[in-house]
Amino acid sequence: MADDKQAEEMSPEEQALADEWAAALDEAGAADQDDIDALLAGTGGSSRVKMEEFNAPAKVSGDEYGEHGDSPNLDVILDIPVTISMEVGNTDITIRNLLQLNQGSVVELDRLAGEPLDVKVNGTLIAHGEVVVVNEKFGIRLTDVISPSERIKKLR
């Protein structure tokens, strides 16, 4: 009965929020009305965790950090695949001209011959390079690698 009385005092928005929390808590494990009420009241049955700053020094815990505990162990991300691409150049054309392209057509790019190519990882410029041929396959020799600080400046 106390639950019915409490439900009558809630606005429709609060009830919808309570229902969403109840569904989320059911997925996470055992949930009861006390947990939902505590979350809605902001006092939470669980403790709040303070967000850490990105530039804050790393905290040492177990095998997560290196031998000295001063930097994270990067082994956890080394096997994540990324897409690397080399951009020879680009241009803007109309759809009419695009539809008229056929075998043998030449598209003028915005780069000069011999100018370095852009090397991008997941769309972010990380280096410049030149085309080479290795064992009858194309490759790229990096001539200039963009520093991490310069990459961050370009993001802003």
CA atoms of 145 and 119, how far apart (whole Å): 9
DSSP 16-68: HHHHHHHHHHHHHS---HHHHHHHHHT--SSPP-PPPPTTSPPPP-GGGB-TT
Question: What are the φ/ψ torsions at residue 128 (nearest 5 degrees)?
Answer: -120, 150
Across the range 42-65, mean pLDDT stands at 50
CA atoms of 75 and 115, how far apart (whole Å): 36
List, for residues 23-50, the tens digit of each pLDDT value.
Answer: 766 666 554 566 666 656 654 444 455 5
Specify if 146 maps to a domain. Answer: yes
Specify if 69 maps to a domain. Answer: no
Specify if 79 maps to a domain. Answer: yes
The whole-number pLDDT of residue 69 equals 53
Specify if 35 maps to a domain. Answer: no
CATH code at 138? Answer: 2.30.330.10
Specify if 147 maps to a domain. Answer: yes
List, for residues 86-128, the tens digit of each pLDDT value.
Answer: 888 889 999 999 999 999 999 998 888 888 999 998 888 899 9
Share of the chain above pLDDT 90, in %: 19
Specify if 13 maps to a domain. Answer: no
Specify if 118 maps to a domain. Answer: yes
**Domain extent at residue 92:** 75-103+112-154
Question: Looking at the 3D structure of the chain, how many domains does it have?
Answer: 1
Specify if 34 maps to a domain. Answer: no
The whole-number pLDDT of residue 8 equals 55
